[in-house]
Amino acid sequence: MNHLQLWVPASVLWVLGSVVGVLVLATAIVAWMRRGDGAGRHTELAARVKSWWVLVAIFALAISFRRGIAIAFFALLSFLALKEYLSLIPTRRADRRVLFWAYLCVPLQYLWIWQQWYNMFLIFIPVWAFLFIAMRMVLRGETRDFLRAAGTIHWGLMTMVFGLSHLAWLLLLPGNAPVAAHGAALLLFVVLLTELNDVLQYVWGRTLGRHPIIPSVSPNKTAEGLLGGALSTTLVSVALAPLLTPLTRSDAIAAGLMIGFGGFIGDVTISALKRDIGVKDSGAIIPGHGGILDRIDSLLFTAPLFFHFLMYFYF
Amino acid sequence: MGGLLRLLFYGVIVRGVVLVVLGLNVRHRERLPTRGPAILAANHNSHLDAMALISLLPLRLLPRVRPVAAADYFLRNRWLAWFALKVVGIVPLNRQRQHEREDLLAPVAAALERGDILIFFPEGSRGEPEQLAEFKSGLARIAERRPDVPVIPIYTYGLGRALPRGEWLLVPFFVDIFVGQALPFEGDRAAYMQRYRDAMAALAREEQRADWD
């Protein structure tokens, strides 16, 4: 059974176990809301909770066994997110091959992570892919909508590949740094807080929300939802930080606020993108949630933010 | 032997490419037929069209599912003909009459007689990517001959981006597949084709698509 050994520490398993507990509770609450005549109501909520079970199971399986499997999982997630993004936006016929190169950036970016090549991980998309894609596009010779196409392709690479891949680099920590930490625990910390923040902002907004905060982008987002969500996320951050991270109390507060507000900005950024394109959901792959981008929108901001916060102060 | 090759081809290779490399976003899947005979009538932009549509149906129906394809294109040499007939399993159709009294639709009628589920592209050829070409009246002629066979309009979007005509490099994109309601034959052929066009246009409108002006 040696090959099935878990590489994650017990703290990660305890926190994952608590997440399952929360899901059991949520499932019970939804079942209670739909009791009797309510059976036909809240179908989307029920689908959403059901999908959370699947998402949590996939995530737990992906991170628990080996670092390599976890890195491969995030490479696949980047590929799916980039594919969803490129399928959503208008693309030029002339750029078909360019898009192929853009896809090729996904395995390369995660290869650098697997090789622990930090400098390449940092500059590959912002420098090498940036220059190469531009060159490949201009050699094709089509100038109509050139800037729009170049801009949208780079934006997709920066968010879906570069941004998301920060989660995978967390898995390599602490590396040689003299800090007691485990990569999978750090990863779980930022992903759990980000997703929890989404849920908490939704719940606070639905129950107490009065003042729309950015109605032209997302009419359902309220100041109460943002503040309630960010503050309760910060409380959870303070509670979980000693278990999963080396963060001090004050740094845990800072990280919680950063994830709370950063997650909100990620969420409304993808909302703005969808509104610009004219779609409601980015896809239909996750029942009750929509597409992959609808689920990872907040992570696109919180992952690099939390990563560089950690790197600056701890590693 | 042919059946096993076909199962490997569609069950492993085609499904792998269609579900992992591309990814399908299917609406109204419940409108798909559960047994033959039936006709799935879709727009045609890519060689992948038939592959994606066949992946929608359960493997248990695979021996019954056949794309109707141009004989002059797919039977143009021995190797391609073997692959098209034995592995892809096409029903070959002549697009031009060889002699005056040839019944071009006879192979299609015979396949329906056997209870096959046919993938049919009324446009006749793949045309420009993501553009609808004129639908030919072949579909109405079949529907008129076999009014008991359900004809299901299906609108696909994205396959012409993934692998357009004249390209060999497959670029991943999510593909939309919107299944319409069966269109029974009524009135004359022209009216039938008009209803088919309307049904396809309605399916296309189910999703807004961004485009640069």
* pLDDT above 50 (res A1): no
CB of B65 within 8 A of CB of B57? yes
What type of residue is A138? V
CB of A309 within 8 A of CB of A278? no
Q: What is the mean pLDDT of chain B?
A: 90
CB of A126 within 8 A of CB of A158? yes
Chain B residues touching A279 at Cβ < 8 A:
207-208, 210
Is position B210 within any domain?
A: no
Q: Give the residue with greater pLDDT, B127 vs B61.
A: B61
Q: Which of B169, B174, B210 sits opposite A100 (nearest CB)?
A: B169
CB of B39 within 8 A of CB of B142? yes
C-alpha triplet B3, B8, B10: angle, nearest 5°:
90
Q: Which two tokens stand for residue A209?
A: 């929300």
How close is the nearest chain A Cα to the Cα of B25, in Å?
6
Q: Which two tokens stand for residue A153?
A: 């392709």
Q: Give the residue with greater pLDDT, A278 vs A308.
A: A308
How close is the nearest chain B Cα to the Cα of A186, in Å?
30
* pLDDT above 90 (res A183): yes
Q: Which of A100, A103, A284 sits opposite B25 (nearest CB)?
A: A284
Find the DSSP H helices in A245-284. Answer: 249-277
Q: Are A91 and B161 within 8 A, CB to CB?
A: yes
Q: Which two tokens stand for residue A117?
A: 């090549």
Q: Are A285 and B23 within 8 A, CB to CB?
A: yes
Is position B189 within any domain?
A: yes
Q: What is the pLDDT of residue A118?
A: 96
Q: Which of A88, A100, A276 sits opposite B171 (nearest CB)?
A: A100
Q: Please list, in sequence order, all residues whose beta carbon lies within 8 angstroms of the beta carbon of residue B31, skipping any fewer than 6 positions away.
A: B152, B179, B180, B181, B182
Provide the CATH number for the domain around residue B96. Answer: 3.40.1130.10
Could you read off the pLDDT of A189-206 as tens digits, one per residue? 999 999 999 999 999 999
* pLDDT above 70 (res B129): no
Residue in B closest to A100 by C-alpha: B171
Q: Which two tokens stand for residue A206?
A: 């639905």
Mutate to test the interface with B, among A87, A99, A106, A281 (most CBs of B within 10 A): A87
* pLDDT above 80 (res A5): no
Could you read off the pLDDT of A214-262 as tens digits, one per residue? 999 999 899 999 999 999 999 999 999 999 999 999 999 999 999 999 9
Which strands, in side-by-side order, build the sheet including B24-27?
Answer: B24-27, B175-179, B151-157, B38-42, B117-120, B65-70, B91-93
A279 at the B interface (CB within 8 A)? yes
**Residues in B 168-207 with any Cβ partner in A closer than 8 A:** 169, 171-174, 207
Q: Are B208 and A96 within 8 A, CB to CB?
A: no
Q: Give the residue with greater pLDDT, A285 vs A20.
A: A20
Whole-model pTM: value is 0.92
Of A16, A314, A283, A288, give the one whose Cα is nearest residue A160: A283
How close is the nearest chain A Cα to the Cα of B168, in Å?
11
Q: Which two tokens stand for residue B32?
A: 């798909």
Q: What is the pLDDT of residue A38?
A: 67
Q: Which of B171, B207, B211 sits opposite A99 (nearest CB)?
A: B171
CB of A85 within 8 A of CB of A293? yes
A83 at the B interface (CB within 8 A)? yes
Q: Are A96 and B167 within 8 A, CB to CB?
A: yes
SS3 content of chain B, % helix, strand, coil (to 5): 40, 15, 40
Q: Are B210 and A100 within 8 A, CB to CB?
A: no
Euclidean distance between CA atoms B104 and B93, whole angstroms:
7
Q: Are B210 and A86 within 8 A, CB to CB?
A: no
B208 at the A interface (CB within 8 A)? yes
Euclidean distance between CA atoms A84 and A273, whole angstroms:
13
Q: Are A99 and B167 within 8 A, CB to CB?
A: no
Chain A residues touching B171 at Cβ < 8 A:
96-97, 99-100, 103
**Bridge partner list, B26:** B177
Q: What is the pLDDT of residue B31?
A: 96
Phi, psi of B157 (to 5 degrees): -140, 130
Is position B213 within any domain?
A: no
Q: Which domain does B82 fall in, by range? A: 2-204
**Bridge partner list, A297:** none
Is position B211 within any domain?
A: no
CB of A125 within 8 A of CB of A158? yes
- Give residue for tokens 């936006």: A89
* pLDDT above 80 (res A2): no
Is position B95 within any domain?
A: yes
* pLDDT above 70 (res B137): yes
Tally the domains of chain B: 1
Q: What is the pLDDT of residue A4?
A: 60
Q: What is the pLDDT of residue B100?
A: 81
